[in-house]
Structure 1
């Protein structure tokens, strides 16, 4: 660790240190891009940690929604027709791929392909 990195960690908030660690982890994931750089109506692969997972029906159809955070931003992942998915839970690392669309100003991927990753510390 360089003196600059050590100084940054000493004066940064815990939230900033965690965001830096998530960004570094996401960038090490092969083929993934930072969430902050995903473009509307483009395919993207992203990697991060799930902050929340919620069952939120859409027009009478079950929909599992998850917020993926990679340190640069968040993307919503929505699986239509699903009430739950084994292993998809808050705190879990996940790599997701799909077509990004903007929903109410938030990047969203519907029915993404996904790969569960080891949790922090595993």
Structure 2
């Protein structure tokens, strides 16, 4: 019984003193692994992937002829840019939403990117 209480207090102290972003990232990694999704840090260019994570930011990048919608997707290990070509807005795609995304990983300016990903909104946002 004393060991269980010690473990409880250790976890409680950790949650009170650790960085909230770090705790959130760890929770995302755990739920991603439980769903069977791949980790962004393990994915490489040209690979077809399925990942579970949360959108950190969403913006529209208007150029002369088209507008593209871009979102920063984070799964707890690494950020990936999602780009929807020719879209200004997509219902439900907003910061803080949890998504399951599928697509082929590319590279742009040294960063991982997925163009026109298939996505599913998850209710645990």
TM-score (norm. length: structure 2): 0.85
C-alpha distance in 2 between matches for 1:81 and 1:24 = 34
Alignment map for 1:1-122 (pairs within 5 Å): 3=7, 6=11, 8-9=14-15, 11-30=17-36, 32-58=37-63, 60-120=65-125
When Rg is computed on C-alpha atoms for both structures, the one with the higher figure is 2
CA gap 1:101/1:58 in 2 versus in 1, 3 angstroms:
farther
C-alpha distance in 1 between matches for 2:120 and 2:38 = 15
Give how far 1:8 is off. 4.6
Does the Cα contact within 8 Å between 1:63 and 1:83 map onto a contact in 2?
yes
Give how far 1:3 is off. 3.0
Three-state SS of the structure 2 residue aligned to 1:100 is strand
Give how far 1:81 is off. 0.8
Three-state SS of the structure 1 residue aligned to 2:91 is coil
Q: Which structure 1 residue ranges, 5 or more long, are not aligned?
A: none
C-alpha distance in 2 between matches for 1:95 and 1:106 = 20
TM-score (norm. length: structure 1): 0.86
> Superposition RMSD on alpha carbons, in Å?
2.1
Q: Deviations over 1:48-104 (max 9, x none)?
A: 010001001356211010111111011110000111111010010001111101111
Q: Which structure 2 residue ranges, 5 or more long, are not aligned?
A: none
Give how far 1:9 is off. 3.6
